[in-house]
Amino acid sequence: MTTILNIKSSSNLQGSVTRQIGPVAVERLKAQYPDAKIIERDLVKTSIPHVSPQFVSAMFSGQNDAPALALSQKLIDEVLASDIIVLEVPMYNFGIPSALKAWIDHVVRAGKTFRYGAAGPEGLAKGKKAIIVLGRGGVYSEGPMKTMDYQEPYLRMILGFIGITDVETIVIEGVALGPEKAAAALAGARQRAHTLTHRAA
């Protein structure tokens, strides 16, 4: 059975473009894997707290079963159980929303999703595919704003760090540049989501 983890992080609950396109991608994958199990994590409707002093203390002292790390373990289990992760990510101030960063801080943990060996860091969440749905007011895939994009490069780096290197993007950009540009960006993204294919590793 294929397990799809769908992460939502837009605080716009009316008209979010990532919240429109993410489900198109999930539906497309469901058509390919009719028995797929879907795990939905909406980081806005149910937010993940910032890393707390108790979290850090338990983590640094190796108390992996401490209550302060229970949510982290649950989120890690969801990632490790999944075959495909569909991440819906708006650009906020050139990077990712803090709601998603809090999730990352809970999921990226030494000994759980990565470890350091003789050859350097090794991701432990291997054999998965990630589809990242990126929403942006401006245009960053080309042109003068390209170097200001700390959203896609960061996501690719952190996913790669935990072993997820098979990453596809669906970019919805320029949505703040007028209704025509927004409609074209959405139509392009919808088409791209419809043509997603995933081959199990």
Query: Is 189 exposed, middle or buried, given 0-12, 13-18 or 19+ CB atoms closer than 10 A?
Result: buried
Kindly tell me which of 22 and 123 has the beta carbon lying closer to ligand FMN: 22
CB count, 10 Å around CB of 106? 21
Kindly tell me which of 107 and 171 has the beta carbon lying closer to ligand FMN: 171
- The reply to whether 10 sits near ligand FMN by the rule CB under 6 A is yes
Beta strands at 37-42 and 114-117: parallel, antiparallel or unpaired: unpaired
Least distance to ligand FMN from the beta carbon of 37, Å? 25
Q: What are phi and psi of 37, to 5 degrees?
A: -95, 130
CA atoms of 82 and 73, how far apart (whole Å): 14
Give the x-and-dash track for 48-87 against ligand FMN (CB under 6 A). Answer: ----------------------------------------
- The reply to whether 6 sits near ligand FMN by the rule CB under 6 A is no
Query: Is 153 exposed, middle or buried, given 0-12, 13-18 or 19+ CB atoms closer than 10 A?
Result: exposed
Return the structure tokens found at 116: 């350091």
- The reply to whether 22 sits near ligand FMN by the rule CB under 6 A is no
- The reply to whether 138 sits near ligand FMN by the rule CB under 6 A is yes
Sign of CA dihedral 47, 26, 159, 126: positive
- The reply to whether 8 sits near ligand FMN by the rule CB under 6 A is no
CA atoms of 78 and 85, how far apart (whole Å): 10
Kindly tell me which of 137 and 188 has the beta carbon lying closer to ligand FMN: 137
- The reply to whether 183 sits near ligand FMN by the rule CB under 6 A is no
- The reply to whether 188 sits near ligand FMN by the rule CB under 6 A is no
- The reply to whether 137 sits near ligand FMN by the rule CB under 6 A is yes
Give the x-and-dash track for 92-131 against ligand FMN (CB under 6 A). Answer: xxx-------------------------------------
Amino acid in the structure at residue 156: R
Residues that bind ligand FMN (CB under 6 A): 10, 12, 16-19, 90-94, 135-138, 175-176
